Amino acid sequence: MGVRRMPTEKTRNGNKWTEARFWSFVRSSLRGAFQRWGPKHEAKEMAKVQVEGKPHKYEYICAECKDGFRATEVQVDHIVPAGSLKCYADLPGFVEKLFCEKEGFQVLCKPCHNAKTQSERSN
């Protein structure tokens, strides 16, 4: 038989949310605002190149593998990860890293981005 865990105390949002649920909500809200962050879009635009011989077709160059990809096949990556957000003490650093300027971003194809993310999680 498995180990029985004590229920996690719900202290947020009228005693409906745990601390983990609260910080997940805050993280998600900040990441939603990040989708409108101008420097993120500037970084993607800087990786855009015209496809040779096709004047109205563009691709994005992956900063890791250097191959060209369609817009839907790339993601804008934080060169320095934003880190974790699990308590108030984490908030200033997380926000500062999340909302960095264009030099803090790179465009990666999805496979390269996934590999980088997995590497960061295992460290």
pTM (2 d.p.) = 0.84
pLDDT value of residue 1:
62
The torsion defined by the Cα of 51, 57, 63 and 64, in degrees rounded to 10, comes to -80
Per-domain residue ranges of the chain: 37-122
- Structure tokens that stand for 33 in this block: 């605002």
Distance CA 79, CA 62 (A): 13
Interior CA angle at 92 toward 37 and 17, to 5°?
A: 90
Instruction: Give the model's pLDDT for residue 25.
Output: 97
pLDDT in tens, 55-71: 889 999 999 999 999 99
Low-confidence ranges of the chain (pLDDT < 50): none
C-alpha–C-alpha distance, residues 70 and 61, integer Å: 9
Residue 80 half-sphere exposure, CB side, CA atoms within 13 Å?
12
Summary mean pLDDT of the chain? 94
